[in-house]
Structure 1
Amino acid sequence: MTFPRRTLLTTLLAGALAGAGHLPALAQRPGPPASRQGIPLDSIRLSDPFILADARTHTYYMTGTGGLLWQSKDLKKWDGPTSVAQPDPTSWMGPRPQIWAAEIHLYKGKYYYFATFTNSALQVANPPGQPLERRASHVLVSDQPAGPYRPFGDATYLPADKLTLDGTFWVDKNGKPYLVYCHEWLQNQNGTVESIALRPDLRGTQGPAQVLFRASDSPWSRENPRTGPARPNKVTDGPWVFRTGTGRLGMLWTSWIYDVYTQGVAYSASGTLAGPWRQEPRPITPPNYGHGMLFRTFEGKDLLVLHSHQDVQGNYHRVPRLFEVDVSGDKLVVGKPY
């Protein structure tokens, strides 16, 4: 979750909006809003939505930015939110970290919580400018989809001096697990999507990271600087890896077209994470949607969940939205709203 042409403070304030319209999740943020039942999906304010269709409980679990969780039996009415992440307060994350872009993945009988944690009290050197708050993708674990999710592995999954976010999970055809994430554009000035191998038990990473592509590789993502001509945008956001029905490897990711939040897709020419990754020439959804992921309903329908994006007097208003998709062919085709 990243935003162009804004100060870091404004970025953090906007990015942390989650739940039923509550305040940003800063270091001294209040507790979660009171849990309710039967909330319509379009009444939930949530950035970076992720939905797990859990066959064990026949329940949909939705999380995202803010570290909260909603549950539903039908995708229409939701109960929640509840707080499910319990990181170690003595770790680098501190006692009350910001939590962005959480995901829940079932792997070998356990549920893993991939999320971005930010500790505003720690700073990371930033050669292009002022120091930045420490932020990194990390993994927690639970025996249950509703948590609680707690630390179980290495103290860090990625270098302490590298700002990373929007970590997601991928297992290749050989059964090798990977962490796929973004290297923050605020630090490198041309955001990347990268991958690094995970240990078989997911307790840490192993080997070097690999850059898969850069924001500037996209033909559609653009920004308009205050001086000079338009140029490629710097933002990479929300990677999600998938396979089509023909076995083609694809990746959803998000950037901006000037001031419009935009969902794109790329495909790997080799069929592996190593790529090379070829960007589709045009976005795949209407304007002002992004940070999408795919899941299959209990009835066998493939859906895309992402959030709509609206700037209301300088504040981002974001709501989860569902679209029908067809992944049976060689490319992802986005259909009508669900």
Structure 2
Amino acid sequence: MKRVLIMIFVALAVMSADAAERKARVRNNVPLDSIVLSDPCVLADSATMTYYMTGTGGLLWKSRDLRLWDGPYRVAETDDESWMGPNPMIWAAELHKYKGKYYYFATFTNSKNILGEYRGNKLERRASHVLVSDKAEGPYRPMADDTYLPADKLTLDGTFWVDTDGKPYMVYCWEWLQNWDGTIESIELKPDLRGSVGEGRILFRASDSPWSREKIDGKERPNRVTDGPYLFRTATGRLGMIWTSWIYDVYTQGVAYSESGTLEGPWIQEKEPITPPDFGHGMLFRTFDGRLLMSVHSHKSINGHYHRVPHLFNVDDSGDKLVIGDEYRP
């Protein structure tokens, strides 16, 4: 009995130390340009009058004014027994409020689960997935279905959209490493978002882009990468999608518009990028005073490592096309 009590005491001590360590890592009043974060997504939560920012890494920041932030907080809780395994990589997390609950759309990667190889690339199991919480600040936990997309398909950067038919959808990328020409696709979700319905449908391919560029075997062609889709409607009701790829080694964001005004498309790509060079993976949100902003990260390669920092840009959606203005500095 004494040995059991000692083991319990040690376990509680370790848990307490871990909690203290996690709390100690949380910083207060951090300026936005001092945060290193890829794929920043901001939820303006009217219930708490707080801005919540997520992204790659599975962490969350919160702010009252978009200028100073508290964090990072760990908010994603996954099932160690699921295909994700313990401590999966988490990319491009987004928060969406829908029918009174908060949903965490993110990409999870299990680096120990290798699906095979394609053209010399090891294919780690990776997929877009959805967690749920009753509060914007989490914690976010798994729902009923353990798989939203085919297990043998590498998918990423899932985002949320309710189309004109009133049904919820996930829009995501099929990884170019597996198909050599990345796609952006959509799949219908169950009414409570606890899983998907049917099969995914291709909206467009990376090779449809008129602005992205790379060279393969000395030949110039559109880049193969599709990254970071995010849907919006202009004030005139036109449906558009921002998404990111590359112009050689420059990280770049473009935009496409649906001619039908629905996910069905066809999707027509604009000829020129929508944001300055070395900015990408953007999303749109409205501030509590009604201002439309784009959250996006800057991209810089330092000694072979990507350095990415969140930025905010003013956006005008009053016409048929999205227009990106100057950087917003709260």
List structure 1 runs of 4+ shifted beyond 3 angstroms: 30-33, 126-131
CA distance in 2, matches of 1:197, 1:66: 26
Aligned counterpart, 1:118: 109
1:157 matched to 2:148? The reply is yes
Q: Choose 1 or 2 for highest CA Rg.
A: 2
CA distance in 2, matches of 1:33, 1:168: 32
Q: Deviations over 1:24-66 (max 9, x none)?
A: xxxxxx9798001100000000000000000000000000000
Aligned counterpart, 1:38: 29
CA distance in 2, matches of 1:189, 1:49: 26
1:322 matched to 2:312? The reply is yes
SS of equivalent residue, structure 1 residue 187: helix
Name stretches of at least 5 consecutive residues in structure 2 with no aligned partner: 1-20
Letter of the 1:232 counterpart: P
- What is the CA distance between 1:175 and its match in structure 2? 1.6
Aligned counterpart, 1:3: none
- What is the CA distance between 1:189 and its match in structure 2? 0.3
Aligned counterpart, 1:57: 48
1:131 matched to 2:160? The reply is no
Aligned counterpart, 2:296: 306
Q: Deviations over 1:123-179 (max 9, x none)?
A: 113443343110000000000001000001201000000000000000012320000
CA distance in 2, matches of 1:114, 1:31: 23
Given the alignment, which residue of 66, 69, 78 partners 1:75? 66
Q: Deviations over 1:60-117 (max 9, x none)?
A: 0000000000000000000000000001011000010000000010000000000000
CA distance in 1, matches of 2:193, 2:127: 16
Aligned counterpart, 1:140: 131
- Cα contact 1:32–1:81 (8 A) shared by 2: no
Given the alignment, which residue of 185, 189, 198 partners 2:176? 185
CA distance in 1, matches of 2:254, 2:286: 20
| TM-score (structure 1 length as normaliser) | 0.89
User: Aligned in 2, Cα 1:110/1:270: closer, same or farther, shift over 3 Å?
Assistant: same
Q: Deviations over 1:249-287 (max 9, x none)?
A: 000000000000001000001100010000000001110
Q: Percent identity, please.
A: 69
- Cα contact 1:33–1:81 (8 A) shared by 2: no
CA distance in 2, matches of 1:239, 1:200: 22
Given the alignment, which residue of 146, 160, 171 partners 1:169? 160
- Cα contact 1:294–1:303 (8 A) shared by 2: yes
User: Aligned in 2, Cα 1:277/1:79: closer, same or farther, shift over 3 Å?
Assistant: same
CA distance in 1, matches of 2:51, 2:240: 24
- What is the CA distance between 1:292 and its match in structure 2? 0.2
Letter of the 1:288 counterpart: D
Letter of the 1:96 counterpart: N
| TM-score (structure 2 length as normaliser) | 0.91
CA distance in 1, matches of 2:106, 2:267: 24
User: Aligned in 2, Cα 1:33/1:259: closer, same or farther, shift over 3 Å?
Assistant: farther
User: Aligned in 2, Cα 1:105/1:224: closer, same or farther, shift over 3 Å?
Assistant: same
- Cα contact 1:32–1:83 (8 A) shared by 2: no
Aligned counterpart, 2:11: none
CA distance in 2, matches of 1:331, 1:126: 41
CA distance in 2, matches of 1:125, 1:168: 26
- 1:85-96 maps to which residues of 2 (within 5 A)? 85-96=76-87
CA distance in 2, matches of 1:151, 1:202: 11
Name stretches of at least 5 consecutive residues in structure 1 with no aligned partner: 1-29
SS of equivalent residue, structure 1 residue 125: strand
Aligned counterpart, 2:96: 105
Q: What is the CA RMSD across the aligned residues, in angstroms?
A: 1.3
**Range 195-204 or range 117-126, more displaced:** 117-126
How many residues align? The count is: 308
- Cα contact 2:121–2:177 (8 A) shared by 1: no
- Cα contact 1:269–1:276 (8 A) shared by 2: yes
SS of equivalent residue, structure 2 residue 25: coil
Given the alignment, which residue of 234, 256, 262 partners 1:272? 262
Letter of the 1:160 counterpart: A
